A and B are shown apart, each in its own frame.
Chain A
Amino acid sequence: MISSATFHVISTELVVGAFSVSGLCFTLCLLVHFGLLKRTEWMDLFDNVAHFALVFGLAATPFAVLSGVSSSPGDGLSSPLLVNKMFLSMSGAGFAIGASLSRWRLGRRLWNSATATRIHCATGLAACGSMLLTASAGGTFARGESLLDVFRLPYEQVLLFPFAISVIGLILGITMVAMGLKRLNRASSIH
């Protein structure tokens, strides 16, 4: 058996590595889209790698979150940094789920629309950015320093909504996901 702290290190390395590769490929997709990278034949490669890495990182995320909670010192969320880590990782997972489901249901046609392409790449990059911020907060918590400390991010400040607002947000979010998926499924069934 390994300790939850060691398991957390393993799972976070998988998550951060996968999301970083995904973010890099989304950036390259964006460069191809804007014509800054002329090799349009590489678009399929970037597309596949970005989404495979995104889904892989997404699969490892729950293990990282759960092991992080169990390995944190004291009882549960004993620091604002840990709360912000939780918010950032779940936001990153939300972006990743949105990007993955959109790509899965819409297929390659997603790249046909310029606006959809830009939004999709931005979503993938947001997922990557959220996970890197989470890792940075973890570094600040464990070692007292992180590469992103130069930005003086307010990790000690927690934006915690009233419980009722969170519940409403949760219900609204689930409804939006269900309706969005229904709309995507309906489009494919008519076809």
Chain B
Amino acid sequence: MLLLCSSFGSAEPGGNGDSIRDMQCGGACHGDASLNGTSTALMSLSSSEKIYAGIPTTITLSVSNIQSSETGLIGLFLLTDTTGHSDTPQDAGWEILSDSNGGSMNYIERTIPSGMNETSVSWVVRSSNMGTTLFYGSIHHGGESTPFFGINPEGLAVDVEAVPENLPRLSSDYIPPTVRTLGAETELNIQTQFTESVQIEWQVPGGTLVSVPVNSTGTDMWTATLPAALQPTTVQWRAVLQGEGPTQTTPWFTLASEEPGWEVEEFAVYTQSFALLFLIAGAVIALQSRLNTSFPENKYEQSQIVLPEQPVDEDGQIISASNSDESIAPLPEGGLPEGWNEDQWRWYGHEYLAGKYGGGE
């Protein structure tokens, strides 16, 4: 019965969350040829014509003809291989600086609204090595109780060229922020090379383009402030870099706004945890020790071996040889000797009869 249940229960209709994942999603049913179905989704990848080493560029995955599950949840991959392992952009020497969901993952999930069957996602990536890399897009989704899988088999060849010497550009080790706290302004600190002036633009996806003032804080160091977000959402920003070489515009970097992180006084939590442990253990032990009024067994208890079974009277008292009627000496004709009581006679009567106490025969 458990084996039967496993085939129904192993699906994860709620998704797995954005992450760095290989094409088979760590052995998920979507990647198992004996379990999955082929997705009808059509995918195409696109990127800029010129891509330079060390400069971020955008790779966009357009997906159409999606026939997903009722929830509309789909998972989209950016891959550099189709073997199912070691196939993430990182494995090919690429960095993911930003994704459409406001992270830096190669696998991102998206919910397709009812009535729509297409979407588009993008990744901002960067490589410090020259050469050609083949990128692939892939999709996982549910529907009709089947895990579906799809990939664009032709891929997209991306050629990385050496960067011209005087090209204005972001510093090769600059990492853009991807997450910010809700309700707080975001200060962008940007490092550049061969740049004389910087202009920062931002927009809510599909909204109006807004420019913000940029201040120089040193050689090739710039700062700009993005306004606070009032609700969890994403904004995109880019920099227009001017210098001796041709003016350059960076890709759109996505910045997600999140609720402030949940905080708690950890020492108080640990103290309360140990208080609960000792209080509960103490209560149980105290209760059991009160309930068990009889003495517990002792490992030195050997009385059953040492003492033979002895007869007991109606009251449970052991009838020993010394207090049975047969062992008590018969009373003299005159009754108890003068000054003796019954108890003394019980124990010493035989000795009296033997003449030890001046009486007897």
The residues of A with any CB-CB pair to B shorter than 8 Å are 74, 76-80, 83, 86-87, 90-91, 93-95, 97-99, 101-102, 105-110, 112-113, 115-116, 119-120, 123, 143-145, 158, 160-161, 163, 166-167, 169-170, 172-177, 179-181, 183-184, 187-188, 190-191
B291 nearest in chain A by CB position: A116
The answer to whether B282 and A174 have CB atoms under 8 Å apart is: yes
Contacting chain A: which of B165-173, B213-221, B269-277, B344-352?
B269-277
A11 to chain B, nearest CB (A): 17
Which 3 residue pairs across A and B have the least CB separation, nearest first?
A176-B282, A98-B284, A173-B278
With A86-B269, A107-B296 in contact, do A94 and B288 touch (Cβ < 8 Å)?
Answer: no
The answer to whether B272 and A87 have CB atoms under 8 Å apart is: yes
Which of B270, B278, B298 lies in contact with A176, CB distance below 8 A?
B278
On chain B, the residues within 8 Å of A158 by CB distance are 264
The answer to whether B277 and A119 have CB atoms under 8 Å apart is: no
Which of B275, B287, B301 lies in contact with A119, CB distance below 8 A?
B287
Instruction: Flag whether B354 is at the interface (Cβ < 8 A).
Output: no
B16 nearest in chain A by CB position: A143
With A95-B284, A112-B294, A119-B287 in contact, do A163 and B268 touch (Cβ < 8 Å)?
Answer: yes
Which of B17, B265, B270, B281 lies in contact with A98, CB distance below 8 A?
B281
With A95-B280, A98-B283, A176-B278 in contact, do A90 and B262 touch (Cβ < 8 Å)?
Answer: no
Query: Majority SS of interface residues in chain A?
Result: helix
Query: Could you list 29 A-B pairs, sorted by A, with CB under 8 Å?
Result: A74-B261, A78-B262, A87-B269, A87-B272, A87-B273, A87-B276, A91-B276, A94-B278, A98-B282, A109-B295, A160-B265, A160-B268, A160-B272, A161-B275, A163-B268, A163-B271, A167-B271, A169-B275, A170-B279, A173-B277, A173-B279, A177-B285, A179-B286, A183-B289, A184-B285, A187-B289, A187-B295, A187-B296, A188-B298
Which of B264, B274, B277, B280 lies in contact with A160, CB distance below 8 A?
B264
A48 to chain B, nearest CB (A): 15
Query: Majority SS of interface residues in chain B?
Result: helix
With A107-B297, A109-B297 in contact, do A97 and B273 touch (Cβ < 8 Å)?
Answer: no
A181 nearest in chain B by CB position: B285
A178 to chain B, nearest CB (A): 8
On chain A, the residues within 8 Å of B289 by CB distance are 102, 105-106, 180, 183-184, 187
Contact bitstring B255-268, A, C-beta under 8 A = 1, else 0: 00000011111111
The answer to whether A119 and B261 have CB atoms under 8 Å apart is: no
The answer to whether A173 and B282 have CB atoms under 8 Å apart is: yes
* A174 and B292 alpha carbons, distance in the complex (Å): 21
A65 to chain B, nearest CB (A): 9
A17 to chain B, nearest CB (A): 15
* A98 and B277 alpha carbons, distance in the complex (Å): 9
On chain A, the residues within 8 Å of B274 by CB distance are 90, 170, 173
The answer to whether B285 and A173 have CB atoms under 8 Å apart is: no
The answer to whether B277 and A94 have CB atoms under 8 Å apart is: yes
* A173 and B284 alpha carbons, distance in the complex (Å): 11
With A105-B296, A109-B292, A116-B292 in contact, do A176 and B285 touch (Cβ < 8 Å)?
Answer: yes
On chain A, the residues within 8 Å of B298 by CB distance are 188, 191
Contact bitstring B138-162, A, C-beta under 8 A = 1, else 0: 0000000000000000000000000
* A156 and B143 alpha carbons, distance in the complex (Å): 31
* A102 and B285 alpha carbons, distance in the complex (Å): 6
Instruction: Flag whether B358 is at the interface (Cβ < 8 A).
Output: no
Instruction: Flag whether B207 is at the interface (Cβ < 8 A).
Output: no
The answer to whether B285 and A80 have CB atoms under 8 Å apart is: no
B300 nearest in chain A by CB position: A191
On chain A, the residues within 8 Å of B284 by CB distance are 94-95, 97-99, 102, 119, 123
On chain A, the residues within 8 Å of B273 by CB distance are 86-87, 90
A149 to chain B, nearest CB (A): 10
Instruction: Flag whether B244 is at the interface (Cβ < 8 A).
Output: no
A167 nearest in chain B by CB position: B271
* A79 and B267 alpha carbons, distance in the complex (Å): 15
The answer to whether A106 and B296 have CB atoms under 8 Å apart is: yes
Contacts A116-B288, A190-B295 supplied; 16 other A-B pairs, CB < 8 Å: A91-B276, A91-B280, A95-B280, A97-B284, A98-B280, A106-B292, A109-B294, A144-B17, A166-B268, A166-B271, A167-B271, A169-B272, A170-B278, A173-B281, A180-B288, A191-B301
